Amino acid sequence: MSSTKITNIDAVELQEGIQNAAFHEDDDDTSNASSSREQQATSVSVTRPEENEYTQIKPYAGMPKEVLMLYSRKACYRVPREIIFWLIIACTLALIAMTITIVALSPRCMSWWQLSPVYQVYPRSFKDSNADGVGDLKGIKEKLSHFEYLNIKAVWISPFYKSPMRDFGYDVEDFRQIDPIFGTMEDFDELLASMHDKGLKLIMDYIPNHTSDKHIWFQLSRNGTEPYKDYYIWVNCTRDKPPNNWVSVFGNSTWEYDEVRQQCYFHQFLKEQPDLNYRNPRVIEEMTDIIHFWLKKGVDGFRMDAVKHMLEATHLRNEPQVDPDQDPSTVDTEFELFHDYTYTQQGLHEILTNWRIDLDAYSREPGRYRFMVIECYDYEEIDKTMRYYGTSYVTESDFPFNFYLLYLPDDLSGNQAKSLVHLWMSNMPKGKWPNWVVGNHDKPRIGSSAGTEYIRAINMLLLTLPGTPTTYYGEEIGMVNVNVSVIQDPFGQHDPSNSRDPQRTPMQWDDKLNAGFSDSENGTWLDIAPDYSTVNVELQQADAHSTVSQYRALSLLRGAELALSRGWFCFVWSDVNVFAYLRELDGLNKAFLVVLNFGEDTTTDLSSVTELPDTLTVHLSTVPISQKTFTKSRIPTSRGQGMLLEYSTNQRFHLNHASECSVSEKACYLPALDILYKC
């Protein structure tokens, strides 16, 4: 090239050729390439600076990077690019900061045992799958859809271990086997898998205090075989003279003379249920291994049975009589003694705390929290019950069962309802989770003790109070006690007035043979209730206003409404007829007023509650009513009626009435982001 003028495009292209360091030619063309590069260098060097400026007005497709770089350096392109870059950085940092803030400020997520009622299944009476007249594990599996219908997520199943059935499963012969009456271990595994597939949790009954006298441990212990010799509590005695005045729960002496060992063994229940010796570390180890056995199988939690009986004083002194003037020879029931040496002894909570640690070790997998609930009747000594929550330093159970609502029928009224609810809420340690029980396999059905007209209002109470409600099978349809023809309960055989058979009769599924519980033509283990043709699941599911339909509606509402599941609980009113309270959540305009009538027809005036709006809307009533709104100064309720009233307000009752309100964990709702945060 001899020309001294070249185009800008040629100049750029030649310059690009010079700067391509990665380009290599064959050896045969080396001299030609060298000559070409010299000519290119000469051509570029003679190009005038002012002619080397690129004058293309707009970028074009396929432009070389040198052209692109020329454009990228211009302010009109560079400034927007840098603005976008820093905006992206700022937005990313803001999102990270917002995420951290939301996580830090968000209240703890509720666990599965807080989100749903716990439903107790008494397996002998729930559903019989093989027509032998006794319920079983396959029968429970057949009815899992019932739990889904009720919006139940947690199911507690009473004992199904191998047992001689002297106390219907609470006398365990082998903790690692299923009793043939209920099925096989394969049946259990299938039931558990099916429940987990449906999002259901299984809570097992665990009986740590005692075993059956048929248990291999006891058989070896009575023979003096090591290391089982001290697995139970043995003391020297004679056939006709027990070591002291201790009395069992079922009545009479807690001591039974054994002809084989020629000593007395200790039992706080039936003589066929010898107490384990928890002063022996090997016993604790054995019982802990049993917990691990079932946890490894995948169970979701345990209900710890009769734990206050697990330890006894070693000095064996007589317990003081409630009536010091009573003839000691006539003392034969547990309520005639102060159980200073046999209930809730020192060392009990250490054992339970260690079991809590074992459950926590299995709770590390997300979504697999292992639940622990304590059964303990402490009656007026509620401080002992509260101790099972643990301390500020150590967690024990998730909660101890709250049995105080069982006493509601003793003085059925609005005042009694408030008193029993306040008893628990005022004694519960700060930040702990409440729970409520109105029936179980040991206590009369609430429909019989309170009256069938109050069943629906009591279910509304159970499902709208803060915390976890526990429902005993059949309560959702209003089952009542049945006067059975033959007493099966050993407690009832000792004292017919205390028989527990009436509340254990078979579940009423439909109006067909045996209420749909069993296809047995030889009857069922306990009598079927005579009202099964009108009180059954199938019939009530078809009626939108039935007891079970209302139970389901309240259960669904409890899960859907933040104010009911984790909001403030505040007492508003109580008198001889009515108990009223409200549920509200900071930041949420929607709130609920619950009005329950446990007396006679009345009209309640809440005009003094300034935080309530003048008009309240009926969300649900346990009895059909045509009126859908009420003024707060005139809220009529009939005998046994419950009403859930909804209202909108920005005023908060709890801010001005701290002594009347409580909440387990404070949370506020932020409507703009539809999230909860700590407040």
Return left, alpha or beta for 326; rule: phi > 0 is left, psi -120 to 50 is alpha, else beta. beta
Residue the block writes with tokens 């009209």 = 603
- Classify residue 134 as exposed, middle or buried by CB count within 10 Å of its CB (0-12, 13-18, 19+): buried
Q: 80 is written with which tokens?
A: 């927007």
User: Taking a C-beta distance cutoff of 8 angstroms, is the pair 563, 427 a contact?
Assistant: no
- Amino acid 426 reads S
Question: For the residues of 197-261, what is the DSSP string, one character each?
Answer: HTT-EEEEEE--SB--TTSHHHHHHHTT-TTGGGSB-EE--BTTB-SS--B-TTSSBSEEEETTT
Q: 631 is written with which tokens?
A: 């003024």
Adjacent-strand bridge partners of 602 = 637
- Separation CA 146–CA 201 (nearest Å): 14
Q: What is the pLDDT of residue 37?
A: 44
Q: What is the pLDDT of residue 57?
A: 56
Three-class DSSP category at 461: helix
Q: 329 is written with which tokens?
A: 């020879």
The answer for residues whose C-beta is within 8 angstroms of residue 527's C-beta and 6 or more apart is: 482, 484, 485, 505
Domain-wise residue ranges, the chain = 65-105, 216-266, 563-677
The answer for residues whose C-beta is within 8 angstroms of residue 9's C-beta and 6 or more apart is: none
Residue the block writes with tokens 């259990």 = 188
Query: In angstroms, what is the C-alpha Rg of the chain?
Result: 37
- Per-residue three-class SS string for 382-403: HHHHHHHHECCCCECCCEECCC
Q: What is the pLDDT of residue 282?
A: 98
Please identify every stretch of the chain with a pLDDT value under 70, giving residue numbers as ranges: 1-57, 59
Handedness of CA 347, 352, 356, 357 (dihedral sign): positive
CATH of domain 563-677: 2.60.40.1180
Three-class DSSP category at 77: helix
User: Taking a C-beta distance cutoff of 8 angstroms, is the pair 230, 200 a contact?
Assistant: no
Check for a shared fold between 216-266 and 563-677. Answer: no
> Shortest CA distance to 535 belongs to which of 599, 589, 588, 475?
475
Q: What is the pLDDT of residues 520-532, one digit of tens each?
A: 999 999 999 999 9
Torsion angle, alpha carbons of 167, 170, 176, 178, to 10: 50
Q: 600 is written with which tokens?
A: 């006679």
Residue the block writes with tokens 């009793």 = 179
- Per-residue three-class SS string for 567-583: CEEEEEEECCCEEEEEE
Q: What value, to the nearest 5°, has the Cα angle with vertex 503 and ends 499 and 506?
A: 120
Q: 166-197: b or e for each residue (b if 16 or more CB lie within 10 Å)?
A: bbbbbbbbbbeebbebbbeeebbeebbeebee
- Amino acid 255 reads W
Cis peptide before 227 (omega within 30 of 0): yes
> Shortest CA distance to 10 belongs to which of 35, 47, 50?
47
- Separation CA 405–CA 418 (nearest Å): 10
CA contacts within 13 A on the Cβ side of 63: 16
CATH classification of 216-266 is 1.10.10.10, yes or no? no
> Shortest CA distance to 585 belongs to which of 538, 509, 649, 638?
649
- Separation CA 547–CA 545 (nearest Å): 7
Q: 195 is written with which tokens?
A: 């429940």
- Separation CA 579–CA 414 (nearest Å): 4
Q: What is the pLDDT of residue 66?
A: 76
- Classify residue 673 as exposed, middle or buried by CB count within 10 Å of its CB (0-12, 13-18, 19+): exposed
- Separation CA 536–CA 524 (nearest Å): 17
User: Taking a C-beta distance cutoff of 8 angstroms, is the pair 231, 277 a contact?
Assistant: yes
- Separation CA 68–CA 78 (nearest Å): 12
> Shortest CA distance to 529 belongs to which of 552, 509, 557?
509
Q: What is the pLDDT of residue 19?
A: 45
Q: What is the pLDDT of residue 56?
A: 54
Q: What is the pLDDT of residue 60?
A: 72
* Catalytic residue set: 305, 375
User: Taking a C-beta distance cutoff of 8 angstroms, is the pair 128, 142 a contact?
Assistant: no
Element counts in the chain: helices (H) and strands (E): 21, 24
User: Taking a C-beta distance cutoff of 8 angstroms, is the pair 136, 126 a contact?
Assistant: no
Provide the pairing of β-strand 118-121 with 468-472.
parallel
Q: What is the pLDDT of residue 228?
A: 98
Residue the block writes with tokens 């007209």 = 453
> Shortest CA distance to 579 belongs to which of 385, 405, 434, 442?
405
